[in-house]
Amino acid sequence: MHQFRYRQGILHCEEVSLQALVEEHGTPLYVYSAQTFRDNYQQLHTALKGLDHRIAYAVKANSNLSVLGLLAELGSGFDIVSGGELFRVIKAGGDPKLCSFAGVGKTAEEIRYALEQGIHCFNVESIAELEFINEVAEGVGATAPIAVRINPNVDAKTHRYISTGKAENKFGIDHEDAHEVYERAASLPRIQIKGVQMHIGSQLTSVNPFVEAVERVVPLVAQLKAAHDIEFFSIGGGIGIVYNDALASGQRDWWDRHDDPPLSPVTYAKKLVPLLQPLDLTILLEPGRYMAGNAGVLLTTCLYEKKGHAKTFKVVDAGMNDLIRPALYQGHHEIVPVREDEAGTRVTADVVGPICESGDFFCQDREIADFQANDIIALMSAGAYSFTMASNYNSRPMPPEILVEGAQARIARHRQSWDDLIAPEP
């Protein structure tokens, strides 16, 4: 469920008109709903009641300080993958003691910083990294809390770029090698074993791969718990969201009729809690997209319509530098006009940006509203992996971000200027 709805014919975020926001801030423009973040957090939290658990929001999905701040207020922990993300969490008021540091390539500087800040744990991805963390910890006179990431070799049945739990992926340690790696960890003086971690992929729309992975890893976790002092098991992130949000196809009440999206927190919890409970450990979850995906939209203005011999193109002022998901993963984002009366006439077209690449599109050969120059449209479900993957390609300034709370809208990030673009260059 999200908080983007037509009210009196204009698309709103909570109680704020998106048309009014565009009049004030221009386009391209990211807009987030605070209530949607809160609802998503609470729904997952509630579904898991009965299980000793903690949510560690995956910062990479949306790392705006205002977003991190509101999650910190809810008591969320954070799954981080760089020193920069840890820095953001701390600046936003998040607790470093609730941060897990993941990723296959942590540097000495990042490890030192994380140790100084007293993070919850490092999720270790190789023996070489384990030994390096031990060495860095030794250098600063600290002990490093760790979990080893286990690769369960399960097919997450998602896009191959965001599938991480197969043996051929670069992530984690093969299930068969786990005991050996934990023995090695136990022998290192500056390493303190705290937990076990796994993450099989992102945008999973069925609970079955999660069940398969948990079933495969739980016996190992139980053995590791008996052998070492393990406090937690992190089952990673990956809960998928609905991208083909039928707001776009005229079924305005879709969300009201589907309390249960394909993979709801309730389904997820119903299947996984009974498998996890017997471990008697704290269970960590690292949702990113589930929390942020449907909480944001990218607003863009149509600049031109271009009718070619083969196709009709709608050229808009946002590009793949602002939202790269369609280009990189064939990601689907619904495209809806901010003024509902423009949704009536349909046309089959490509929506493209101004970037000098043929991959710069938001949809191809899709039936969409026949919007025209100066009309404002919303790219839906752009709260996760959207702004965080934006770049300055083609020397385009990054768009601003607005956080809406009820009837209030505040700037969560200013639009970059051309001066900002060149500021770091002497």
DSSP designation for 279 = G
Asked if 202 is part of the footprint of ligand LLP (rule: CB under 6 A), the reply reads yes
- Judged by CB under 6 A, the stretch of 16-24, 285-293, 311-319, 339-347 that binds ligand LLP is 285-293
The nearer residue to ligand LLP, 16 or 327, going by C-beta atoms, is 327
To the nearest 10°, the Cα dihedral for 121, 125, 129, 130? 60
Give dist(CA 135, CA 382) in Å, integer: 41
Question: What minimum distance in Å lies between the beta carbon of 238 and ligand LLP?
Answer: 4
Question: What minimum distance in Å lies between the beta carbon of 264 and ligand LLP?
Answer: 14
CB–CB of 372/411 below 8 Å?
A: no
Question: x/- site string to ligand LLP, residues 38 to 77, per CB under 6 A?
Answer: --------------------x--x----------------
Choosing from 162, 246, 266, 275, the residue that interacts with ligand LLP (CB under 6 A) is: 162
Asked if 290 is part of the footprint of ligand LLP (rule: CB under 6 A), the reply reads yes
Crossing angle of helices 83-91 and 108-117, rounded to 10°:
30
Asked if 122 is part of the footprint of ligand LLP (rule: CB under 6 A), the reply reads no
CA atoms within 13 A on the CB side of 135: 9
Distance, C-alpha 334 to centroid of its chain: 18
To the nearest 10°, the Cα dihedral for 53, 241, 66, 74? -30
Asked if 272 is part of the footprint of ligand LLP (rule: CB under 6 A), the reply reads no
Give dist(CA 136, CA 150) in Å, integer: 23
Choosing from 12, 120, 325, 333, the residue that interacts with ligand LLP (CB under 6 A) is: 325
Asked if 385 is part of the footprint of ligand LLP (rule: CB under 6 A), the reply reads yes
Choosing from 25, 194, 199, 333, the residue that interacts with ligand LLP (CB under 6 A) is: 199
Give dist(CA 100, CA 94) in Å, integer: 12
Question: What minimum distance in Å lies between the beta carbon of 343 and ligand LLP?
Answer: 26
How would you classify the pairing of strands 282-285 and 232-234?
parallel
Residues in the chain: 426
CA distances from 138 to 112, 134, 194, 212, 375 (A): 10, 6, 18, 38, 60
Question: What minimum distance in Å lies between the beta carbon of 375 and ligand LLP?
Answer: 27
CA distances from 52 to 45, 48, 210, 304 (A): 10, 8, 18, 54
The nearer residue to ligand LLP, 6 or 329, going by C-beta atoms, is 329
The nearer residue to ligand LLP, 10 or 74, going by C-beta atoms, is 74
The nearer residue to ligand LLP, 1 or 162, going by C-beta atoms, is 162
Question: What minimum distance in Å lies between the beta carbon of 88 and ligand LLP?
Answer: 16
Give dist(CA 217, CA 43) in Å, integer: 26
Give dist(CA 312, CA 309) in Å, integer: 8
Asked if 203 is part of the footprint of ligand LLP (rule: CB under 6 A), the reply reads yes
- Judged by CB under 6 A, the stretch of 90-98, 180-188, 236-244, 332-340 that binds ligand LLP is 236-244
Asked if 296 is part of the footprint of ligand LLP (rule: CB under 6 A), the reply reads no
Nearest to 335 by CA among 379, 297, 376, 303: 379
Site for ligand LLP, residues 95 to 114, rule: CB under 6 A: 102
The nearer residue to ligand LLP, 191 or 235, going by C-beta atoms, is 235
Catalytic residues: 356
Nearest to 238 by CA among 215, 209, 266, 258: 209
The nearer residue to ligand LLP, 213 or 376, going by C-beta atoms, is 213
Other C-beta atoms lying within 10 Å of the C-beta of residue 130: 22
Asked if 207 is part of the footprint of ligand LLP (rule: CB under 6 A), the reply reads no
Nearest to 409 by CA among 81, 19, 120: 19
Asked if 360 is part of the footprint of ligand LLP (rule: CB under 6 A), the reply reads no
- Judged by CB under 6 A, the stretch of 109-117, 197-205, 344-352, 354-362 that binds ligand LLP is 197-205
Choosing from 152, 165, 236, 326, the residue that interacts with ligand LLP (CB under 6 A) is: 236
The nearer residue to ligand LLP, 102 or 221, going by C-beta atoms, is 102
Looking at 285-390, list the stretches that DSSP marks H as alpha helix, in order from N- to C-terminal side.
Answer: 289-292, 325-329
The nearer residue to ligand LLP, 62 or 300, going by C-beta atoms, is 62
Question: What minimum distance in Å lies between the beta carbon of 42 and ligand LLP?
Answer: 17
Question: What minimum distance in Å lies between the beta carbon of 162 and ligand LLP?
Answer: 5
Give dist(CA 108, CA 133) in Å, integer: 8
Q: Which residues bind ligand LLP (CB under 6 A)?
A: 58, 61, 79, 102, 162, 164, 199, 202-203, 236-239, 286-290, 325, 329, 385
